[in-house]
């Protein structure tokens, strides 16, 4: 197994994603890092963390890639995200809804490798603001 370099950028990005209640885009991560490293380094760290099974990629309804912490991946770095993601059309936040598990059956001869479910609508926070 390839040994991972534990850099300040890697540690900071991983902690940021693990502590975030929402999935984060690369521009949001870069803004939060406030000059700690450049865009290319951030993408390299994100790719490495994804390969290690520490984070997973989610594409929102606008095609923007976001990153969230992996809570259900196994020790062999196989991503197993059988939950729904919610994309709010008002605040544009993308949230993992790990308790919402879709149920489907593939036709015979098809083998699932990855599944992406993203629901678009209004999140509970934006809905409560609108109700006030």
**Tens-place pLDDT, residues 11-62:** 999 999 999 999 999 999 999 999 999 999 999 999 999 888 889 888 888 8
In angstroms, the CA 40 to CA 78 distance is 25
The model scores a pTM over 0.85: no
pLDDT the model gives residue 80: 58
Q: Residue 77 pLDDT more than 70?
A: no
pLDDT the model gives residue 85: 87
Q: Is 16 exposed, middle or buried (0-12, 13-18, 19+ CB in 10 A)?
A: middle
In angstroms, the CA 58 to CA 62 distance is 11
pLDDT the model gives residue 2: 45
């Amino acid at each position: 197994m390839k040994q991972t370099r534990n850099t300040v950028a890697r540690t900071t990005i991983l902690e940021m994603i693990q502590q975030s209640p929402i999935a984060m885009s690369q521009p949001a991560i870069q803004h939060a890092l406030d000059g700690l490293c450049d865009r290319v380094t951030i993408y390299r760290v994100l790719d490495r963390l994804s390969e290690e099974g520490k984070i997973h990629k989610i594409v929102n309804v606008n095609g923007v890639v976001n990153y969230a912490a992996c809570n259900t991946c196994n020790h062999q770095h196989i991503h197993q995200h059988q939950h729904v993601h919610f994309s709010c059309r008002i605040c544009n936040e993308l949230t993992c809804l790990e308790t919402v598990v879709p149920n489907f059956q593939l036709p015979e001869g098809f083998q699932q490798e990855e599944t992406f479910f993203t629901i678009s609508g209004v999140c509970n926070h934006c809905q409560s603001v609108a109700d006030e």
